[in-house]
Amino acid sequence: MIEVNITVNGEARTAEVPPETTLLTLLRDWGLTGTKLGCDEGDCGACTVLLDGMSVNGCLVLAGRANGCSVSTVEGLSVDGRLHPLQEAFEQHASLQCGFCGPGILMSAKELLDANPSASKSEIRIALSGNLCRCTGYVKIIDAVAEAGAKMAAHGGQSNG
């Protein structure tokens, strides 16, 4: 067993886990089930979270690797009940159908817009290339990310307010 200390969505957490435990498994064991397991081999992106601001597949990162790091998951997107512009735009555009890929896509989009809220549609496509969606055909997802980016750019890159 190894001890891991991770700050998840701003909250310090600690756990003793077998060394082969993935970050995805640990997050879900902590009750943060928003992050999904789709393929368990880094193909589908449903488990995407941000590790020190960088998007990673939670199923391919060992929990021990995240020790001492800061992790953001979909549960941390809204603050005090205020939706993130991405969440608002996804709702308005009906970008999620079954919704299973959504948490991963939202986190990949967050990474992009945090760095570049004015990202072009082709930059959005590249940023989401690691996330598979089987329902929507991506059009409404890309539109929503672009709209959220425009809103964030208008607020000087601020996401919640």
Residue 82 as a binder of other proteins (CB under 8 A): the answer is no
Among 134, 137, 155, 158, binds other proteins (CB under 8 A): 134
Owner of token pair 């809220």: 117
Instruction: Choose one: 50-58, 60-68, 83-91, 146-154; the region binding other proteins (CB under 8 A).
Output: 83-91
Among 36, 72, 109, 124, binds other proteins (CB under 8 A): 36
Residue 109 CB, nearest distance to other proteins (Å)? 11
Residue 35 as a binder of other proteins (CB under 8 A): the answer is yes
Residue 103 CB, nearest distance to other proteins (Å)? 5
Closest CA to 69 of 58, 79, 80: 58
The length of the chain, given as a count of residues: 161
Residue 64 CB, nearest distance to other proteins (Å)? 16
* Pairing assessment for the beta strands 11-17 and 2-8 based on DSSP bridges: antiparallel
Put residue 91 in one of left, alpha, beta given phi > 0 → left and psi -120 to 50 → alpha. Answer: alpha
Write the burial class of residue 152 (CB in 10 Å: 0-12 exposed, 13-18 middle, 19+ buried).
buried
Query: What span, in angstroms and rounded, lies between the C-alpha atoms of 92 and 64?
Result: 38
Residue 46 as a binder of other proteins (CB under 8 A): the answer is yes
Applying CB under 8 A, the residues found at the interface with other proteins are: 28, 32-41, 43-44, 46, 73-75, 77-78, 83, 86-87, 90-92, 94, 96-103, 106, 132-135
